Amino acid sequence: MKRIILSLCVLLMVQLAHAQYELYPANWWVHMKWNKVQVLVRAAGKDLKNQTAAVQYPGVKLEKISRFQNPHYLVLHLAIGPEARPGVVTIRIGTDLVQWPLGSRRPGNGTAFANGATAADLMYLIMPDRFSNGDPSNDRVPGMRDQSLNRDSVFERHGGDLKGVEAHLDYLKDLGVTAIWLNPVIENDMPNRTEHGYAFTNHYKIDPRIGGAAAYKKLIDAMHTKGMKMIQDAVYNHTGLEHVLFRDQPDSSWFHRWPKFTQTNYKDQAVFDPYGSKVDRKIMEDGWFVPSMPDWDQSNPFVQTFLIQHALWSVEEFGIDGWRIDTYAYNDLPFMNRCNQALYDEYPRISIFGETWVHGVPNQSYFCQNNYSIPFKSNLQATTDFQTLFYGIIPAVTQPFGWTEGVNKLYTTLAQDFVYKDPMRQVIFLDNHDLARFYSVVNEDTAKYKLAFAWLLTGRGIPQMYYGSEILMKGTTWPNDGYVRLDFPGGWKGDAQDKFTASGRTEKENAVFSYIRTLANYRKRSPALTSGKLLQFAPYDGIYIYFRYNTTQTIMCAMNTNSKPVTIATDRFREVLQKFTAGIDVVSGSRISLKDSLTLNPMSNRVLELK
């Protein structure tokens, strides 16, 4: 009986000691290639500066202890040998015992998870707080700084969550979606504007207001069961003011510091300009993005390892398939190469693309894998392709045709793809959470809207659509960006309209929904669109013809950007059409002769499978 009581007392002491410590990463796995793990230990109420530490666990060796100016922290440098087995590693810090789980690796690397988004996918971007509220019990979480809950305000929280996303997976799968990119899911315990998620406050917690880690795992498991992929939004450049490591900093070298507040100049040119000044580059890379987002000092090796390990941990812990990296151009780029490579080494099929909101193909291509012979070579697979948006499809549907205007801009931008190592990895899109919704960009003209969507679903690269685009959601960033982040009607109990259902949509909405759904589902089974090459012909008189093809299938896309019908002679395209006499319109199913000419409707993009 005394032994039982003693054992219970020891167990209680271990639990009490563990509760006083925070460990980053919270756990790890055996047989990882990243087997030298930096465990950052934080104990807010303790002085760790002179505390001893020891680990006694087969296959796990404590190689070194690093200490900081702040006595709340120390780093345990652990080496996990190949002989280590899953279990719970007990770490002794002074007289305290802290437990650190060491698990078996997730099965199915590159098949069941970390499978990467490719040109065969259609990504659907969701802001969880604004899509669907599947669990009202987590709308407000006691103790968190932001207690707002007001759907009448575009600034405050609305209550959407991960369970709401899971509840509509069948809707998305039916639409033709194969991958979901969520705006950040990591804890964002800031006092306001927390709906977007881009100011992390604890890397190792999933925000409880969207369901926490359990809901995230459940959603990803459900997606994988349905053959869908999860893309996680990463932020390496900055964090939130309330982040635990900023509020209680290990030392003064973890974040960029200035004599007075200095914001980035947002000048991506300063990074690669051969004539650029050092000060411009320093302000670009080290200046804070906004006052509420402290800028990590990524030259600090402890910061580097903290961020890399979190990326690896996220993939293994949750089973995500790819990364979208926020504000990519503002990071320390050699560090980003190291971080990307760690992910490639551990997960060879994972995909990574970065946000590069820049202007010009050379600017954009500098930040990803390219064909330049220059001192810095990025290993980022691809970027979010702002160039085919700003200098491509938007002018194609909003500008009159000219030698360099209108659809010629799309043609010219794509002609510069020779700079990319693999342009088929570029992520193409019409809008996102920071931009005016495309339906508003085209002044709610459904003909222009459908033309643009036909391009999105037949163009080169990985298409990404923004939640609600299929039901004609509209909004601009004026007077603020909240108006492009409105709720999906029907995502909340009691909504007057449920646009997840055909009966809840208007006739116009159903027509556009059906058009997108038809093309998206056709795309999934089209080898030419998912893995084929692109062949384009120079536009004339507002007509742009391009083909997607491989050895088994050829798709002809005929874009008419004029406001009137046009009949074109087909002999100009004989290098492709010489083998074909007709095409099947993949939307209507009708057979179209291509023998001499082709008639195109006003402002349309006809998609024909050649026969």
Active site residues: 326, 355
Question: Taking the C-alpha atoms of 210, 211, 214 and 218 in order, what is their torsion angle to the nearest 10 degrees?
Answer: -70
Q: Quick one: which H or E segment has residue 90? A: strand 87-93
Q: At what angle do helices 507-524 and 446-458 cross, to 10 degrees?
A: 10
Cβ–Cβ under 8 Å, residues 518 and 450: no
Q: Which residues have C-beta within 8 Å of that of residue 337, sequence separation ≥ 6?
A: 378, 379, 380
CA distances from 214 to 79, 187, 218, 221, 230 (A): 29, 14, 6, 11, 15
Q: Quick one: which H or E segment has residue 429? A: strand 427-429
Among the listed residues 62, 57, 38, 50, the one whose alpha carbon sits nearest the alpha carbon of residue 95? 50
DSSP 346: H
User: Got the DSSP string for 350-403?
Assistant: -EEEE----SSHHHHHHTSSBS---S------EEB-HHHIIIIIHHHHHS---S
Q: Render the burial of 260-272: b for 16+ CB within 10 Å, e for the rest.
A: eeeebbebbbbbb
Distance CA 469, CA 534 (A): 26
Distance CA 107, CA 329 (A): 34
Among the listed residues 24, 14, 539, 579, the one whose alpha carbon sits nearest the alpha carbon of residue 314? 24
Cβ–Cβ under 8 Å, residues 548 and 528: yes
Distance CA 462, CA 232 (A): 16
Please state the length of the chain.
611
Q: Would you state the structure tokens that stand for residue 112, as one six-digit string?
A: 């069941």
Among the listed residues 108, 217, 232, the one whose alpha carbon sits nearest the alpha carbon of residue 179? 232
Distance CA 362, CA 374 (A): 12
Cβ–Cβ under 8 Å, residues 160 and 138: no
Number of Cβ within a 10 Å radius of residue 584: 15
Cβ–Cβ under 8 Å, residues 416 and 361: yes
Distance CA 287, CA 260 (A): 11
Q: Render the burial of 274-294: b for 16+ CB within 10 Å, e for the rest.
A: eeeeeeebbbbbbbbbeebbb
Distance CA 86, CA 29 (A): 7
Q: How far is CA 275 from the centre of its chain?
A: 33
Q: Is the dihedral of CA 189, 190, 191, 195 positive or negative?
A: negative
Identity of residue 244: V
Distance CA 183, CA 196 (A): 7
Among the listed residues 559, 563, 564, 565, the one whose alpha carbon sits nearest the alpha carbon of residue 547? 559
Cβ–Cβ under 8 Å, residues 363 and 269: yes
